[in-house]
Amino acid sequence: MISTAPKPSEVIVPPQRHYLNAGYGVKSWLLTTDHKRIGLLYLASITLFFFLGGAFATIIRLELATPAGDLVSSENYNKFFTMHGVVMIFFFLIPSVPAVLGNFLIPLMIGAKDVAFPRLNLLSWYVYNIGAIITLYAIIAGGVDTGWTFYAPLSTTYSNTNVMATGVGIFITGFSSILTGLNFIVTIHTLRAPGLTWLKMPLFLWAHYATSLIQVLGTPVIAITILLLAFERAVHVGIFDPALGGDPVLFQHLFWFYSHPAVYIMILPSMGIVSEIVATFVRKNIFGYKFIAFSSIAIAVFGFLVWGHHMFVSSQSVYAGMVFSFLSMAVAIPSAVKVFNWTATLYKSSVSYQTPMLYAFGFIGLFTIGGLTGLFLAALGFDVHVHDTYFVVAHFHYIMVGGAIMGYLGGLHYWWPKISGRMYPEGWAKLGVLTIFVGFNLTFFPQFLLGYMGMPRRYHAYSEEFQVLNVMSSAGASILAVGYLLPMIYLIWSMRYGPVASANPWPSTGLEWRTSSPPPPENFEKTPVVTWHAYEFKPRDQAEIVGEF
Amino acid sequence: MAESHAATVEGSGPSTTALAHHFEDMEQQREAGTLGMWVFLITEIMFFGGMFLAYTLYRSKYPDEFARGSRELSILLGGINTVVLIGSSLTMAMAVHSAQTGNRKKLIGFLAVTLLLGLTFLGIKAVEYTEKFEHHHFPGVNFKLGEHSETASQVAQKPDGAAAQPQAQKPVLDSKRVQLFFWIYFAMTGMHALHMIIGAGALSFLIYYSRKGRYTPEYYAPVELTGLYWHFVDIVWIFLFPLLYLLGLHE
Ligand SMILES: [Cu+2]
């Protein structure tokens, strides 16, 4: 039940004119420069890739239900886990929250009419899709088998699968990520409404600002790396293959210089979502606002200094290993700062247990497990023991699926009334979040045990003693699949049949809730002037919000 | 950059109609455009940074081979190109100044000279590349160094077993590592040349619209932003020239 259902006397009427009915037809969508519509275009694209990546995961879990490699050959298995990784990371997780919710919300949250460069924003969606189509071609033409990490010289010389097309696809899609990051940085710097100082901004914006920094600083490095790799593969001259005089570990350094911070591209925006949800559903100013805000920046900065923890056993010197080990543990501090501050916000508060809040709880719990096991892996000795085992697989799925996707779905539910103008069905949504939570833990917790026992990742067969835990994992995966299908079905259903949402259904304090649901094309009737802090709530019995404009 | 150009298309005339609908005023629009360009240039630094890293790594690993490869490059042509580019940066700055002061004739003139210098650079670069291909200095199966140099494979072929006692002054060079130098040379200068071509395109665009009188002292952001880009590309070359061409000198 929504805590602030409208008083019986007032009936919610949807706005006459809003961004969804501002124009009809394919052209009004494909040529739109409205950040809200572009957010929805991205939503459609990445949802497709999410389920494609999920299909690959299904094949992997089916194969691993039995110890023998009986469903797919080892060559095909290599392809399936590679394509699962490529699709999920580059085509779903990286764009997920920023390109969908960030696009939709950042201008609304700062009281602007649009992002700074609306055309570049639309261009980024097209660039994403061009890269996506090329990658789809690579998949259909027979796939790629190098692992999503594309280590040389396997990728440059020995693999005879579609490394080239996949690389080109990822290279192109990288530019959509750069464009999004660039747009957000400039938007947040230059388009904030009068009165909205940096320290009055919602934490969602701080998180996205930090994310954009990583996108802008990291993505060009993976771009040049892929480019050099592609040339090396094409003309057999280059700098990575030892047969050509090169150094394959250089590739690993360049790759992880981007790909470790990329983890923060995936998780930081979800952390921003959790901050918004926690504040709203306990109706309290968030505890330690400045700490949460600056911890996002700290994560973005320190995240660039820890990539070497992926090379503890790849010829990196012991001293470098020690430094990277220390720095990797240090980067846990800003993450822990966030978790502690959310928990402190919850302390002695009364919580409304609605779906977005349940997702936020899921995020906090699962991210904590993922983060703590990350500390295990940052320890040199332990890492050597579990390197390339299922322990690592479980760890990063707790961060990316348990963390990032929980946050993404929580945010999607939280802002769904704003996006669609309709409420989602609360009962179904609660069932969904519960299914996901149970399914997720059943899928991935056994993998910690498997890894600790020594089961290596990336093999399609394993020894008998691992079967019980693998069957548990596969069973969990099928529950998880149901859990992910549920929101897709009821959210689409609610667009037509859900109850009409008010402008501020929860209610919350953010600027995005001070315009109609869905918002008009220009976002606000008149430019707002911000006089309140991001999370200035009135007591619970007073439903209205602080600081009308 | 493209965005600020595009912003002008919406308005029919210069000055205030060049304001895109989502900005409050020209000042905000200019600020956004400039910051956007700076952020873009930072991404460029990171992009070239990957290659500079590879350069640093292999140069410190194989200093002799890098010096050997470097000696094959023409300091004269590289030097002329350096002067040409620095000159073009000057004329670009003058073009921005002319736009600021609203001198359309001078604006078009300086833009044209800048473009001409940019094309001169690319022309000389093309001569250099052709020469490299003719001398088999492009890495790959056809790669070979000049007669006077000794690579490991050539030394090994000598019947008198000179390979066993290489002279102290002349270290045995690994041809693969010299190829690495040339590969990095082609990657870096090639990427730089690509940026020059894009810059030349932007300049042509500016010349076209300057002739139409689009830029005024109130609205000349595209000129200013292209200038920033052009200077950046020049600076990259200022790093590339000593790193690639002048290595062989210290002997
Ligand atoms: Cu990492």
CB A411 within 8 A of CB A270: yes
Which pLDDT belongs to residue A2? 40
A110 Cα distance to chain centroid:
22
Which pLDDT belongs to residue B164? 45
pLDDT (mean) for B157-181: 61
From first to last of its 549 residues, what are the pLDDT tens digits of chain A? 344 444 444 567 778 889 999 889 999 999 999 999 999 999 999 999 999 999 999 999 999 999 999 999 999 999 999 999 999 999 999 999 999 999 999 999 999 999 999 999 999 999 999 999 999 999 999 999 999 999 999 999 999 999 999 999 999 999 999 999 999 999 999 999 999 999 999 999 999 999 999 999 999 999 999 999 998 998 888 889 988 888 999 999 999 999 999 999 999 999 999 999 999 999 889 999 999 999 999 999 999 999 999 999 988 899 999 999 999 999 999 999 999 999 999 998 889 999 999 999 999 999 999 999 999 999 999 999 999 999 999 999 999 999 999 999 999 999 999 999 999 999 999 999 999 999 999 999 999 999 999 999 999 999 999 999 999 999 999 999 999 999 999 999 999 999 999 999 988 889 999 999 999 999 998 889 998 888 988 765 555 566 655
Exposure b/e, A199-238, CB count within 10 A at least 16 = b: ebbbbbbbbbbbbbbbbbbbbbbbbbbbbbbbbbbeeebb
Q: Take residue B187 and report the two structure tokens written for it.
A: 């990657």
Q: Give chain B's mean pLDDT.
A: 84
| H-state helical runs in A236-288 | 248-282
Percent of chain B exceeding pLDDT 90 equals 60
Query: How confident is residue B22, by pLDDT bands cut at 50, 70 and 90?
Result: confident
Strands of A41-96 (E only): list them.
Answer: none
pLDDT of residue B154 exceeding 70? no
Closest CA to A523 of A193, A95, A302: A193
pLDDT of residue B165 exceeding 80? no
| H-state helical runs in A347-388 | 355-378, 380-386
Which pLDDT belongs to residue A315? 85
In chain B, where the domains are located: 48-248
Q: Which chain B residues are Cβ-neighbours of A118 within 8 angstroms?
A: 20, 22
Q: Which chain B residues are Cβ-neighbours of A178 within 8 angstroms?
A: 43
pLDDT (mean) for B56-61: 92
At B23, the amino acid letter reads: F
Q: Give me the torsion for CA of A433, A434, A437, A442, rounded to 10°.
A: -140
pLDDT of residue B145 exceeding 80? no
Exposure b/e, A355-393, CB count within 10 A at least 16 = b: bbbbbbbbbbbbbbbbbebbebbbebeebeebbebbbbb
Q: State the nearest Cα–Cα gap between B221 and chain A, in angstroms.
A: 14
DSSP reduced 3-state for A64:
coil
DSSP assigned state of B218? S
Exposure b/e, A159-178, CB count within 10 A at least 16 = b: bebbbbbbbbbbbbbbbbbb
Report how many Cβ contacts below 8 Å link chain A to chain B: 106
Q: Which chain A residues are Cβ-neighbours of B35 within 8 angstroms?
A: 185-186, 189-190
Per DSSP, the residues of A480-549 read: HHHHHHHHHHHHHHHHHHSPBP-SSSS---SGGGGS-SSPPTTS-SS-----S-TT-PPPTT--S-S---
CB B39 within 8 A of CB A185: yes
Nearest CA in chain A to B27: A190
Query: How confident is residue B221, by pLDDT bands cut at 50, 70 and 90?
Result: very high
Query: How confident is residue B173, by pLDDT bands cut at 50, 70 and 90?
Result: confident
| H-state helical runs in B102-240 | 104-134, 152-157, 175-211, 221-240
Closest CA to B182 of B113, B245, B99, B125: B245
pLDDT of residue B163 exceeding 60? no
CB A253 within 8 A of CB B77: no
Which pLDDT belongs to residue A93? 97
Q: Which chain B residues are Cβ-neighbours of A216 within 8 angstroms?
A: 39, 42-43, 46
For chain B, give the longest Cα–Cα distance.
Answer: 82
A193 interfaces chain B, CB cutoff of 8 Å: no
Q: State the nearest Cα–Cα gap between A202 and chain B, in angstroms.
A: 21
CB A102 within 8 A of CB A184: yes
A237 interfaces chain B, CB cutoff of 8 Å: yes
**Looking at the domain covering A19-514, what would its CATH class be?**
mainly alpha
Whether residues A245 and B180 touch (CB distance < 8 A) is answered with yes
CB A342 within 8 A of CB A367: no
The CA-atom distances, in angstroms, between B213 and each of B14, B94, B102, B225 are 8, 18, 10, 18
Which pLDDT belongs to residue B251? 53
Percent of chain B exceeding pLDDT 70 equals 82
Phi and psi at residue A389, in whole multiples of 5°?
Answer: -110, 180
State in Å: Cα A388 to ligand 1 middle: 13
Please identify among residues 2-21 of chain B the ones whose CB lies closer than 8 Å to any CB of chain A. 2-3, 6, 20-21
Q: Take residue B62 and report the two structure tokens written for it.
A: 């194989």
Which pLDDT belongs to residue B17? 64
Q: State the nearest Cα–Cα gap between B105 and chain A, in angstroms.
A: 31
Query: How confident is residue B191, by pLDDT bands cut at 50, 70 and 90?
Result: very high
* Residues 6+ positions from A231 with CB-CB distance below 8 Å: A237, A238, B187
**Within 10 Å of residue A19's Cβ, how many Cβ atoms?**
23
Name beta bridge partners: B151.
B173
ipTM above 0.85, yes or no: yes
Whether residues B50 and A114 touch (CB distance < 8 A) is answered with no
pLDDT of residue B83 exceeding 90? yes
d(CA A365, CA A531): 35
Closest CA to A211 of A276, A173, A258, A262: A262
Q: At what angle do helices A248-282 and A203-235 cross, to 10 degrees?
A: 160
Q: Which chain A residues are Cβ-neighbours of B32 within 8 angstroms?
A: 116-117, 186-187, 189-191
Q: Which chain B residues are Cβ-neighbours of A219 within 8 angstroms?
A: 43
Of B39, B61, B180, which is closest to A185 when you measure between CB atoms?
Answer: B39
Which pLDDT belongs to residue B14? 42
CB A360 within 8 A of CB A281: yes
Topology adopted by domain B48-248: Four Helix Bundle (Hemerythrin (Met), subunit A) (1.20.120)
DSSP reduced 3-state for B13:
coil
